[in-house]
Amino acid sequence: MSRFLSPRLDTVTPYTPGEQPQDQQYIKLNTNESPYPPSPAVLEAVSRAEVEKLRLYSDPACAELLNAAAKHFGLQPDQIMSGNGSDENLFFALRAFCDEEHPLAYADITYGCYGVWCGLMHIPSRIIPLREDFTLDPTDYYGLNTTIVLANPNAPTGLALPRSAIEGILKANPDHVVIVDEAYVDFGGESCVPLIDRYENLLVVQTFSKSRQLAGARLGLAMGNAKLIADLNRVKFSLNPYNINRLTLKAGQAALEDTAYFDSTRAVIVETRSWTRQQLEARGFTVLDSRSNFLFVRTARQDGGTLYRKLKENGVLVRHFDTPRIHSWLRITIGTPAQMQALLAALDKILED
Protein backbone atom coordinates (compact mmCIF):
# COMPACT_ATOMS: atom_id res chain seq x y z
CA MET A 1 0.00 0.00 0.00
CA SER A 2 1.11 3.56 -0.58
CA ARG A 3 1.70 6.10 2.15
CA PHE A 4 -1.34 7.95 0.78
CA LEU A 5 -3.90 5.26 1.62
CA SER A 6 -6.56 6.43 4.03
CA PRO A 7 -5.91 4.89 7.47
CA ARG A 8 -9.56 3.81 7.47
CA LEU A 9 -8.67 1.30 4.77
CA ASP A 10 -5.71 -0.18 6.66
CA THR A 11 -7.81 -2.82 8.33
CA VAL A 12 -9.89 -3.84 5.29
CA THR A 13 -9.28 -7.39 4.06
CA PRO A 14 -10.39 -7.54 0.42
CA TYR A 15 -12.28 -10.55 -0.96
CA THR A 16 -10.17 -13.19 -2.73
CA PRO A 17 -12.08 -14.27 -5.85
CA GLY A 18 -11.68 -17.80 -7.20
CA GLU A 19 -8.88 -18.11 -9.73
CA GLN A 20 -9.76 -16.97 -13.27
CA PRO A 21 -6.96 -18.37 -15.45
CA GLN A 22 -7.09 -16.62 -18.80
CA ASP A 23 -6.26 -19.72 -20.83
CA GLN A 24 -8.46 -22.80 -21.22
CA GLN A 25 -6.07 -25.32 -19.70
CA TYR A 26 -8.21 -26.17 -16.67
CA ILE A 27 -11.54 -27.84 -16.17
CA LYS A 28 -12.94 -24.93 -14.25
CA LEU A 29 -15.15 -25.98 -11.35
CA ASN A 30 -14.16 -23.24 -8.90
CA THR A 31 -16.45 -20.21 -9.26
CA ASN A 32 -19.94 -21.65 -9.88
CA GLU A 33 -20.27 -20.36 -13.41
CA SER A 34 -22.48 -22.22 -15.86
CA PRO A 35 -20.68 -24.70 -18.12
CA TYR A 36 -23.17 -23.81 -20.87
CA PRO A 37 -23.13 -20.75 -23.15
CA PRO A 38 -25.74 -18.00 -22.85
CA SER A 39 -29.09 -18.47 -24.61
CA PRO A 40 -28.93 -18.01 -28.40
CA ALA A 41 -31.33 -15.11 -27.84
CA VAL A 42 -28.54 -13.31 -25.95
CA LEU A 43 -26.22 -13.58 -28.95
CA GLU A 44 -28.94 -12.05 -31.13
CA ALA A 45 -29.65 -9.24 -28.66
CA VAL A 46 -26.03 -8.10 -28.43
CA SER A 47 -26.15 -6.99 -32.04
CA ARG A 48 -23.87 -4.84 -34.14
CA ALA A 49 -26.46 -2.07 -33.93
CA GLU A 50 -26.33 -2.24 -30.16
CA VAL A 51 -22.53 -2.11 -30.14
CA GLU A 52 -22.70 1.01 -32.32
CA LYS A 53 -24.92 2.63 -29.69
CA LEU A 54 -22.18 2.28 -27.08
CA ARG A 55 -21.27 5.93 -27.70
CA LEU A 56 -24.49 6.79 -25.81
CA TYR A 57 -24.95 6.30 -22.09
CA SER A 58 -27.13 3.39 -21.02
CA ASP A 59 -30.61 3.96 -19.59
CA PRO A 60 -30.05 4.86 -15.91
CA ALA A 61 -33.58 3.64 -15.10
CA CYS A 62 -32.99 0.27 -16.88
CA ALA A 63 -36.67 0.51 -17.83
CA GLU A 64 -36.88 -2.22 -20.47
CA LEU A 65 -35.02 -4.75 -18.37
CA LEU A 66 -37.06 -3.96 -15.27
CA ASN A 67 -40.33 -4.24 -17.20
CA ALA A 68 -39.26 -7.66 -18.47
CA ALA A 69 -38.21 -8.68 -14.95
CA ALA A 70 -41.50 -7.43 -13.47
CA LYS A 71 -43.42 -9.56 -15.95
CA HIS A 72 -41.23 -12.58 -15.25
CA PHE A 73 -41.48 -12.39 -11.45
CA GLY A 74 -45.06 -11.08 -11.17
CA LEU A 75 -43.99 -7.79 -9.56
CA GLN A 76 -44.26 -4.08 -10.39
CA PRO A 77 -41.23 -2.46 -12.05
CA ASP A 78 -40.75 -0.18 -9.03
CA GLN A 79 -40.27 -3.28 -6.86
CA ILE A 80 -37.08 -4.22 -8.76
CA MET A 81 -33.70 -2.74 -9.46
CA SER A 82 -30.70 -3.99 -11.36
CA GLY A 83 -27.14 -4.01 -10.14
CA ASN A 84 -23.73 -4.55 -11.71
CA GLY A 85 -23.80 -8.13 -10.48
CA SER A 86 -25.76 -8.98 -7.37
CA ASP A 87 -22.62 -7.92 -5.51
CA GLU A 88 -23.46 -4.31 -6.31
CA ASN A 89 -27.06 -4.67 -5.15
CA LEU A 90 -25.86 -6.27 -1.91
CA PHE A 91 -23.42 -3.40 -1.44
CA PHE A 92 -26.20 -0.84 -2.10
CA ALA A 93 -28.37 -2.59 0.48
CA LEU A 94 -25.66 -2.60 3.15
CA ARG A 95 -24.91 1.05 2.43
CA ALA A 96 -28.62 1.86 2.67
CA PHE A 97 -29.57 -0.14 5.78
CA CYS A 98 -26.40 -0.43 7.88
CA ASP A 99 -23.69 1.90 9.19
CA GLU A 100 -21.31 2.26 12.15
CA GLU A 101 -24.24 2.11 14.58
CA HIS A 102 -26.42 -0.35 12.67
CA PRO A 103 -24.80 -3.81 12.46
CA LEU A 104 -25.30 -6.62 9.99
CA ALA A 105 -25.99 -10.19 11.14
CA TYR A 106 -24.91 -13.18 9.07
CA ALA A 107 -23.70 -16.76 9.45
CA ASP A 108 -20.11 -17.70 10.29
CA ILE A 109 -19.97 -19.84 7.16
CA THR A 110 -21.47 -17.99 4.22
CA TYR A 111 -20.59 -15.75 1.28
CA GLY A 112 -17.32 -13.98 2.10
CA CYS A 113 -18.24 -10.60 0.67
CA TYR A 114 -20.67 -9.77 3.47
CA GLY A 115 -17.81 -9.47 5.95
CA VAL A 116 -15.60 -7.63 3.46
CA TRP A 117 -18.24 -4.95 2.87
CA CYS A 118 -18.78 -4.59 6.61
CA GLY A 119 -15.03 -3.92 6.90
CA LEU A 120 -15.06 -1.41 4.06
CA MET A 121 -18.06 0.51 5.43
CA HIS A 122 -17.22 0.12 9.14
CA ILE A 123 -20.40 -1.81 9.78
CA PRO A 124 -20.19 -4.00 12.92
CA SER A 125 -20.67 -7.69 12.07
CA ARG A 126 -22.86 -9.89 14.21
CA ILE A 127 -21.67 -13.35 13.28
CA ILE A 128 -24.02 -16.22 14.07
CA PRO A 129 -22.51 -19.72 13.97
CA LEU A 130 -24.26 -22.40 11.98
CA ARG A 131 -24.97 -25.68 13.78
CA GLU A 132 -22.31 -28.38 13.86
CA ASP A 133 -23.78 -29.94 10.68
CA PHE A 134 -23.76 -26.53 8.90
CA THR A 135 -27.56 -26.18 9.02
CA LEU A 136 -28.96 -22.83 10.13
CA ASP A 137 -31.29 -22.54 13.11
CA PRO A 138 -33.83 -19.84 12.15
CA THR A 139 -34.58 -19.08 15.81
CA ASP A 140 -30.98 -17.83 16.21
CA TYR A 141 -32.15 -14.87 14.11
CA TYR A 142 -35.36 -14.11 16.00
CA GLY A 143 -35.57 -10.63 17.52
CA LEU A 144 -31.97 -9.79 16.60
CA ASN A 145 -32.67 -6.11 16.19
CA THR A 146 -30.22 -5.74 13.30
CA THR A 147 -30.24 -5.96 9.52
CA ILE A 148 -29.79 -9.60 8.47
CA VAL A 149 -28.36 -11.19 5.34
CA LEU A 150 -28.91 -14.87 4.56
CA ALA A 151 -27.69 -16.71 1.49
CA ASN A 152 -30.40 -19.23 0.62
CA PRO A 153 -29.26 -21.72 -0.59
CA ASN A 154 -26.15 -20.97 1.42
CA ALA A 155 -22.65 -20.86 0.00
CA PRO A 156 -20.35 -22.74 0.19
CA THR A 157 -22.50 -25.43 1.84
CA GLY A 158 -25.34 -25.52 -0.72
CA LEU A 159 -27.85 -26.16 2.09
CA ALA A 160 -31.24 -24.47 1.81
CA LEU A 161 -33.93 -23.29 4.20
CA PRO A 162 -37.61 -23.63 3.29
CA ARG A 163 -39.49 -20.39 2.60
CA SER A 164 -41.44 -20.88 5.83
CA ALA A 165 -38.21 -20.67 7.88
CA ILE A 166 -37.30 -17.34 6.29
CA GLU A 167 -40.85 -16.17 6.89
CA GLY A 168 -40.32 -16.86 10.60
CA ILE A 169 -37.19 -14.69 10.56
CA LEU A 170 -39.06 -11.89 8.72
CA LYS A 171 -41.89 -11.97 11.27
CA ALA A 172 -39.47 -11.98 14.20
CA ASN A 173 -37.61 -8.88 12.93
CA PRO A 174 -40.38 -6.57 11.70
CA ASP A 175 -38.32 -3.39 12.19
CA HIS A 176 -35.24 -4.56 10.29
CA VAL A 177 -34.49 -5.50 6.72
CA VAL A 178 -33.85 -9.16 6.00
CA ILE A 179 -31.82 -9.58 2.81
CA VAL A 180 -32.17 -12.99 1.18
CA ASP A 181 -29.35 -13.67 -1.28
CA GLU A 182 -30.83 -16.13 -3.78
CA ALA A 183 -27.79 -16.53 -6.03
CA TYR A 184 -28.44 -20.31 -6.24
CA VAL A 185 -32.21 -20.50 -5.82
CA ASP A 186 -32.84 -21.65 -9.40
CA PHE A 187 -31.17 -25.01 -8.74
CA GLY A 188 -33.72 -26.26 -6.22
CA GLY A 189 -34.26 -23.63 -3.53
CA GLU A 190 -37.57 -22.03 -2.53
CA SER A 191 -37.62 -18.38 -3.53
CA CYS A 192 -38.94 -15.70 -1.19
CA VAL A 193 -40.14 -13.52 -4.09
CA PRO A 194 -43.78 -14.60 -3.43
CA LEU A 195 -43.47 -13.06 0.06
CA ILE A 196 -42.54 -9.59 -1.15
CA ASP A 197 -46.06 -8.14 -1.05
CA ARG A 198 -46.54 -9.42 2.52
CA TYR A 199 -43.29 -8.30 4.20
CA GLU A 200 -42.10 -4.74 3.81
CA ASN A 201 -38.76 -5.73 5.40
CA LEU A 202 -37.89 -8.38 2.77
CA LEU A 203 -35.24 -7.74 0.12
CA VAL A 204 -34.51 -10.59 -2.31
CA VAL A 205 -31.31 -10.49 -4.35
CA GLN A 206 -30.78 -12.67 -7.43
CA THR A 207 -28.03 -12.90 -10.03
CA PHE A 208 -27.64 -13.72 -13.74
CA SER A 209 -24.18 -15.17 -13.03
CA LYS A 210 -25.04 -18.71 -11.97
CA SER A 211 -28.26 -19.89 -13.61
CA ARG A 212 -28.45 -17.55 -16.63
CA GLN A 213 -24.92 -17.96 -18.03
CA LEU A 214 -24.01 -14.25 -17.71
CA ALA A 215 -21.31 -14.09 -15.01
CA GLY A 216 -19.11 -11.98 -17.28
CA ALA A 217 -21.91 -9.54 -18.14
CA ARG A 218 -22.32 -8.53 -14.45
CA LEU A 219 -26.03 -8.36 -13.76
CA GLY A 220 -28.21 -8.92 -10.71
CA LEU A 221 -31.69 -7.97 -9.52
CA ALA A 222 -32.87 -6.79 -6.13
CA MET A 223 -36.57 -7.20 -5.40
CA GLY A 224 -38.64 -5.89 -2.54
CA ASN A 225 -41.32 -3.37 -1.70
CA ALA A 226 -41.11 -0.11 -3.65
CA LYS A 227 -39.82 1.92 -0.69
CA LEU A 228 -36.87 -0.41 -0.11
CA ILE A 229 -36.06 -0.27 -3.82
CA ALA A 230 -36.21 3.54 -3.69
CA ASP A 231 -33.64 3.41 -0.87
CA LEU A 232 -31.29 1.33 -3.01
CA ASN A 233 -31.77 3.75 -5.90
CA ARG A 234 -30.82 6.58 -3.58
CA VAL A 235 -27.43 4.92 -3.16
CA LYS A 236 -27.09 4.01 -6.83
CA PHE A 237 -27.85 7.55 -8.04
CA SER A 238 -25.35 8.89 -5.52
CA LEU A 239 -22.62 6.60 -6.80
CA ASN A 240 -22.99 5.38 -10.38
CA PRO A 241 -26.27 6.19 -12.20
CA TYR A 242 -25.26 4.28 -15.35
CA ASN A 243 -24.28 1.16 -13.45
CA ILE A 244 -25.49 -1.31 -16.10
CA ASN A 245 -23.96 -1.06 -19.54
CA ARG A 246 -26.04 -1.20 -22.74
CA LEU A 247 -24.92 -4.65 -23.83
CA THR A 248 -25.67 -6.15 -20.45
CA LEU A 249 -29.15 -4.60 -20.39
CA LYS A 250 -29.93 -6.25 -23.74
CA ALA A 251 -28.29 -9.55 -22.83
CA GLY A 252 -30.09 -9.71 -19.50
CA GLN A 253 -33.49 -9.05 -20.99
CA ALA A 254 -32.99 -11.73 -23.65
CA ALA A 255 -31.80 -14.25 -21.04
CA LEU A 256 -34.80 -13.50 -18.83
CA GLU A 257 -37.28 -13.93 -21.67
CA ASP A 258 -35.86 -17.25 -22.88
CA THR A 259 -37.48 -19.28 -20.12
CA ALA A 260 -37.22 -22.54 -22.09
CA TYR A 261 -33.42 -22.32 -22.23
CA PHE A 262 -33.26 -21.29 -18.58
CA ASP A 263 -35.39 -24.25 -17.52
CA SER A 264 -33.53 -26.80 -19.62
CA THR A 265 -30.04 -25.72 -18.54
CA ARG A 266 -30.87 -25.66 -14.86
CA ALA A 267 -32.57 -29.05 -15.13
CA VAL A 268 -29.39 -30.54 -16.65
CA ILE A 269 -27.31 -29.06 -13.83
CA VAL A 270 -29.63 -30.55 -11.19
CA GLU A 271 -29.46 -33.94 -12.89
CA THR A 272 -25.66 -33.80 -13.21
CA ARG A 273 -25.47 -32.76 -9.56
CA SER A 274 -27.34 -35.83 -8.33
CA TRP A 275 -25.28 -38.16 -10.54
CA THR A 276 -22.03 -36.60 -9.29
CA ARG A 277 -23.17 -36.81 -5.71
CA GLN A 278 -23.87 -40.55 -6.05
CA GLN A 279 -20.48 -41.09 -7.66
CA LEU A 280 -18.67 -39.22 -4.89
CA GLU A 281 -20.59 -41.02 -2.16
CA ALA A 282 -19.72 -44.34 -3.78
CA ARG A 283 -16.08 -43.29 -3.32
CA GLY A 284 -16.61 -42.62 0.37
CA PHE A 285 -16.96 -38.83 0.19
CA THR A 286 -19.24 -36.95 2.55
CA VAL A 287 -21.46 -34.74 0.37
CA LEU A 288 -23.87 -32.15 1.75
CA ASP A 289 -27.44 -32.02 0.41
CA SER A 290 -26.88 -29.24 -2.10
CA ARG A 291 -29.69 -27.21 -3.68
CA SER A 292 -27.20 -25.21 -5.72
CA ASN A 293 -24.93 -25.65 -8.74
CA PHE A 294 -22.04 -26.95 -6.62
CA LEU A 295 -21.32 -29.71 -4.14
CA PHE A 296 -19.59 -29.24 -0.80
CA VAL A 297 -17.59 -32.38 -0.11
CA ARG A 298 -14.88 -33.92 1.98
CA THR A 299 -13.05 -37.21 2.30
CA ALA A 300 -11.25 -38.65 5.29
CA ARG A 301 -8.60 -39.94 2.88
CA GLN A 302 -7.01 -36.55 2.19
CA ASP A 303 -7.23 -33.05 3.60
CA GLY A 304 -8.94 -30.33 1.61
CA GLY A 305 -5.88 -28.22 0.81
CA THR A 306 -3.87 -31.18 -0.49
CA LEU A 307 -6.73 -32.47 -2.59
CA TYR A 308 -7.32 -29.01 -4.05
CA ARG A 309 -3.64 -28.77 -5.01
CA LYS A 310 -3.47 -32.25 -6.52
CA LEU A 311 -6.63 -31.67 -8.52
CA LYS A 312 -5.11 -28.50 -9.88
CA GLU A 313 -1.96 -30.41 -10.88
CA ASN A 314 -4.30 -32.75 -12.73
CA GLY A 315 -6.00 -29.91 -14.58
CA VAL A 316 -9.13 -29.55 -12.43
CA LEU A 317 -9.77 -26.31 -10.53
CA VAL A 318 -12.05 -26.46 -7.50
CA ARG A 319 -12.47 -24.10 -4.55
CA HIS A 320 -10.85 -24.61 -1.16
CA PHE A 321 -11.41 -22.20 1.74
CA ASP A 322 -8.58 -22.16 4.23
CA THR A 323 -10.85 -20.96 7.03
CA PRO A 324 -12.01 -22.39 10.35
CA ARG A 325 -14.57 -25.22 10.33
CA ILE A 326 -14.34 -25.85 6.56
CA HIS A 327 -10.65 -26.31 5.72
CA SER A 328 -11.15 -30.04 5.13
CA TRP A 329 -13.92 -29.37 2.58
CA LEU A 330 -13.94 -28.58 -1.14
CA ARG A 331 -16.58 -26.73 -3.12
CA ILE A 332 -16.98 -28.24 -6.58
CA THR A 333 -19.05 -26.50 -9.24
CA ILE A 334 -21.33 -28.71 -11.33
CA GLY A 335 -20.02 -28.68 -14.91
CA THR A 336 -21.04 -30.75 -17.90
CA PRO A 337 -21.33 -34.54 -17.44
CA ALA A 338 -18.00 -34.94 -19.29
CA GLN A 339 -16.30 -32.47 -16.94
CA MET A 340 -17.63 -34.33 -13.92
CA GLN A 341 -16.32 -37.60 -15.34
CA ALA A 342 -12.92 -35.98 -15.72
CA LEU A 343 -13.10 -34.78 -12.12
CA LEU A 344 -13.89 -38.31 -10.90
CA ALA A 345 -11.09 -39.80 -12.98
CA ALA A 346 -8.66 -37.28 -11.47
CA LEU A 347 -9.90 -38.07 -7.96
CA ASP A 348 -9.52 -41.82 -8.55
CA LYS A 349 -5.97 -41.30 -9.74
CA ILE A 350 -5.05 -39.02 -6.83
CA LEU A 351 -6.62 -41.16 -4.10
CA GLU A 352 -5.05 -44.34 -5.46
CA ASP A 353 -1.51 -42.94 -5.09
Ligand X SMILES: *Cc1c(COP(=O)(O)O)cnc(C)c1O
Question: CA 288, CA 149: separation in Å to the nearest integer?
Answer: 22
Does 333 contact ligand X by CB under 6 A?
no
* Cα–Cα distance, 324 to 127 (Å, whole number): 14
Which residue in the set 134, 158, 173, 181 belongs to the binding site for ligand X (CB under 6 A)?
A: 181
The residues in 141-170 that bind ligand X, with binding defined as CB under 6 A, are: 151, 155
The 220-249 contact track toward ligand X, x by CB under 6 A, reads: x-----------------------------
Closest separation in Å from C-beta 129 to ligand X: 18
Q: x/- contact string, 74-113, with ligand X (CB under 6 A)?
A: -----------xxx-----------------------x--
What residue is closest to ligand X based on CB?
Answer: 85
DSSP letters, 47-67, are -HHHHHGGGSPP-TT-HHHHH
Nearer to ligand X, 248 or 276 (CB): 248
Query: What does the per-residue mask of binding to ligand X show for 5-44, with x meaning CB under 6 A?
Result: ---------------------------x------------
183 near ligand X (CB under 6 A): yes
**What long-range pairs does 190-197 form, CB within 8 A, spacing at least 24?**
190/160, 190/161, 190/162, 190/163, 191/163, 192/152, 192/163, 192/166, 192/167, 193/73, 193/74, 193/75, 193/223, 194/163, 195/163, 195/166, 195/167, 195/170, 196/75, 196/79, 196/223, 196/224, 196/225, 197/225
x/- mask, ligand X, residues 190-219, rule CB under 6 A, reads -----------------x-x-----x----
Sheet architecture: strand order including 220-224 = 80-83, 220-224, 202-207, 178-181, 147-151, 104-107, 125-128
Work out whether 255 is an interface residue with ligand X (CB under 6 A).
no
Nearest to 327 by CA among 302, 306, 305: 305
- The residue among 114 and 261 lying less far from ligand X, judged by its C-beta, is 114
Give min distance, CB of 31 to ligand X, in A.
8
Q: Which residues bind ligand X (CB under 6 A)?
A: 32, 85-87, 111, 151, 155, 181, 183, 207, 209, 215, 220
